[in-house]
Amino acid sequence: MQASQEVNEWIDGFLFVANRPILDLLNTKPVLADGPTELLPDVRALERWLIASGIVVSPNAKAVVRSWRHSTKATAFLGQLISFRERLREAVKRIENGSSPTDAFLAEVNLLLLHHPRHTSLQKRDGMVVRETLFEPRKTTDLWAPIIDATADLLAEAEWSRIRKCESCVVHFFDTSKKGSRRWCSMNICGNKLKVAAYQRRKRGDNATTN
Ligand SMILES: [Zn+2]
């Protein structure tokens, strides 16, 4: 049971605990044993994250993204995405602190929404017609469409109080629990660690009184 949970939390070396891939984009810079660690150091890592996050799904889209491994435009896009990730982190921190994103950040998101709209198409599924999002990137900047669409959904989220940071690390998540009482990024990563620490503190306290 625990092992399968861990498998679900880490996909291809990336953490997916946020319930929202756009928040897990923030979680591509976790603090590991050696300190803050960039999990998106190059285009190859970005390609793996886009597939692991479920943003790039179709065989055609995967092939297109894979063809960018040595593309300077893809490297440039990654640089822009990383700096956007940090501005999004600031906006999320403001929400977590009971404030709201800055007007400048909303203006930036609005501009990206305008230039990179998310396309949809009608498909027949089981005799019904359904509207599905269509993501078949042709150029590297097309990757903004799903990223900025998810950003807009997050910021327009009605329950900002469910956007939170783990109590013991830098990981952000969207709390989907019924009671809204989730405290940690994951039981495996921080939950158990904190429980063990509390146990050890109690134990040390006991020792101190007996000494
Ligand atoms: Zn944590």
Distance 197 CA to ligand 1 centre (A): 14
DSSP E strand boundaries for 42-147: 119-125, 128-134
| Per-residue pLDDT band at 206 (split at 50, 70, 90) | low
Distance 138 CA to ligand 1 centre (A): 37
| Per-residue pLDDT band at 1 (split at 50, 70, 90) | very low
Q: Do residues 24 and 15 make contact, with C-beta atoms less than 8 angstroms apart?
A: yes
CA-nearest of 155, 169, 159 to 94 is 155
How high does pLDDT run on average in the chain? Answer: 91
Distance 14 CA to ligand 1 centre (A): 14
3-state helix, strand, coil in the chain (%, to 5): 55, 15, 35
pLDDT above 50: residue 26: yes
| Per-residue pLDDT band at 210 (split at 50, 70, 90) | very low
Amino acid at 93: K
Percentage of the chain modeled with pLDDT above 90:
78
- Who has greater pLDDT, 12 or 5? 12
Across the range 177-188, mean pLDDT stands at 91
Distance 131 CA to ligand 1 centre (A): 37
Q: Return d(Cα 85, Cα 27) in angstroms, integer.
A: 10
Distance 1 CA to ligand 1 centre (A): 20
pLDDT on residue 33 = 80
Helix (H) or strand (E) holding 19: none
Q: Do residues 28 and 68 make contact, with C-beta atoms less than 8 angstroms apart?
A: no
162: exposed, middle or buried (C-beta count within 10 Å: 0-12, 13-18, 19+)? middle
Distance 24 CA to ligand 1 centre (A): 13
Distance 62 CA to ligand 1 centre (A): 31
Across the range 41-65, mean pLDDT stands at 96
Report the CATH architecture of 2-210: Orthogonal Bundle (1.10)
Distance 90 CA to ligand 1 centre (A): 18
Distance 196 CA to ligand 1 centre (A): 14
Percentage of the chain modeled with pLDDT above 70:
93
Distance 190 CA to ligand 1 centre (A): 4
**71: Cβ contacts below 8 Å, ≥ 6 apart:** 43, 140
pLDDT on residue 211 = 40
* pLDDT tens digits, one per residue of 105-131: 999 999 999 999 999 999 999 999 999
Amino acid at 211: N
* pLDDT tens digits, one per residue of 153-181: 999 998 999 999 999 999 999 999 999 99
Report domain extents, the chain.
2-210
- Who has greater pLDDT, 186 or 95? 95
Give the length of the chain.
211
- Who has greater pLDDT, 87 or 195? 87
Q: Return d(Cα 55, Cα 61) in angstroms, integer.
A: 10
**141: Cβ contacts below 8 Å, ≥ 6 apart:** 73, 77, 116
Distance 13 CA to ligand 1 centre (A): 16
Single pTM value for the model: 0.87
166 to 28, 155, 181: CA distances (angstroms):
15, 19, 11
